[in-house]
Each structure stands twice: as C-alpha cells, then as structure tokens.
Amino acid sequence: MHKEFHKWWSSNLDKEMDVVVYGHYGFSLLMFPTAGEDYLEYERCQLIDSISHFINSGKCKVFSINSINGESWLRKNLSIEQKAIRHQQYNKYVIEEVVPFIFNHCNGHVPIITTGASLGAFLAANIFFQRPDLFRGVIAMSGSYNLKYYARGYYDENVFRNSPEDYLSNWNDEKMLNEIRKGKIVIAAGRGDYEDPTASKRLSKVLSSKGIPHKLDLWGEDMPHDWPTWHKMLPYFLGTDF
C-alpha cells in the first residue's frame, strides 16, 4: 500500500500537525481519530488493514489527521470556554488547511467523505454538517453528537455551534439544509458493551425532522464500543453505501 507522511505548521492551531495518506486514487476518506489519539491510530489498531482492499483498488484515498481533543474537551485543567474556543480553532484548521491540502494532493476538487469512531465520529459528523459544501458525506461510528456532556453545564455560542443535535434542531436555512440533503450520511452504533445507540437515535430523529435523508444502522448486542466493531462497520459501509 502506498503511504506518505506530511506535516506543516498550522497557523490556526499554532503548532505542527501531521497527516498520513494511504493510496493513490479514488474519493478522499478523511479520518478523525478517537478520543486523544493521533493520526496513526487507525493504522496501529488495524482499521486501515480492514479497508485495504478499497485503498489498493483505487476506490478511496485515505487522509488520516491528528485531533487536538487533549487540548480541548479532554483537557482537565482548562476552562470550558477555552476548550470550546480551541475546538473552533480545530474546525478552522480542517476547513482552511486540510481540505486545500487534500484538493492539492488529488489535483482537483475530489469528493471528501469524513469518518471516525467514538469521539472521532462526533468530529467527522460535526465538520460535515457545518460545511456540506466541502464534504460529500459522513460515516459516523459509535459517536455522541451533543457537547453538553463535555461542557458540564457551560453553554455559549462556540459550544452551541459544535453540538450537532442543538444547531441542527434550530437551523431553518433551506440553502444549508439542501446542501446537507445532497450528502450521504451513515450514523452507526452497536448495542454491545459501552455503546450508546440512543445517541445515534437522537441525531437520527433531528435529521428526520429536517427532512435530511440518512442511514441509521444499529448493530447487535455482540458489537461493543471497541475496534472489532469498527473493523466490521467501516468496510461494510464503504462497500454498500459509497
């Protein structure tokens, strides 16, 4: 499998950020890591191996990036307000730096599908819903889509703007909603240990209330919040829905 490493100093985050690219051709699959992990997590945990057929056959080209969850929602010694601001800076990094990098690397405006598991599912869904003009779809696995848990009672514009359940419920901009309706949306979760399928159901309910087509796919009680589940989910959705 072809693999490339890239890095640059992010003006939005004021730090060096890494990206790893897998494959040569196909639509772009932008992967957001779980929790506080890094851009190589999906390779270490063999999720890249599970989708290697799609990469090697040229169906998709994978771009796996770092998160800054450890500097925002998962950082204990930081105010909720500062966590929300840092998260907003991360959004700008993805939109203003990563997306142009992908287009440049692919020599054109290729379709970009976002994906991630756990906290990565939230990041992938949030960035898709905010900029459906840039992204063509999302595969969100085992996520939670409301920031109230991490905000612990604090609520401001930055928290609201990054909590998909909240801002989607309040959106009445038909132009934006129509852009979202054009995308392919998969919201998936298991029903096994440590999974929270109700989070996916709540997001699905909001999407349905706005007339947004999507696929809600809840797997069985033998599917825990862990890598074996995502090893099955991601290749399945790449094969059946994209």
Q: Two tokens at 111?
A: 């379709």
121-144 b/e (C-beta count within 10 Å ≥ 16 → b): bbbbbbbbbbbbebbbbbbbbbbb
Here the tokens at position 229 are 């589940």
pLDDT beneath 70: ranges in the chain: none
Sheet with 215-218, edge to edge strand ranges = 3-10, 15-22, 60-65, 27-32, 112-117, 137-141, 184-189, 215-218
150 within 8 A of 75, measured Cβ to Cβ:
no
Q: What is the dihedral of CA 200, 21, 72, 120, to 10 degrees?
A: 10
The strand pair at 3-10 and 15-22 is best described as: antiparallel
Check if the beta carbon of residue 68 is closer than 8 Å to that of residue 13: yes
**Structural domains in the chain plus CATH codes:** 3-240 (3.40.50.1820)
Within 8 A by CB and 6+ apart from 50, the residues are 231, 232, 234, 235
CB atoms within 10 A of CB 23: 24
Our measurement of the distance from residue 235's CA atom to the centroid of its chain's CA atoms, rounded to an integer in Å, reads: 16
Global pTM? 0.96
Burial of 44 (0-12, 13-18, 19+ CB in 10 A): exposed
The two tokens of residue 16 are: 């060096």
Instruction: Give pLDDT, residue 5.
Output: 98
Which DSSP category does 199 fall into?
A: H
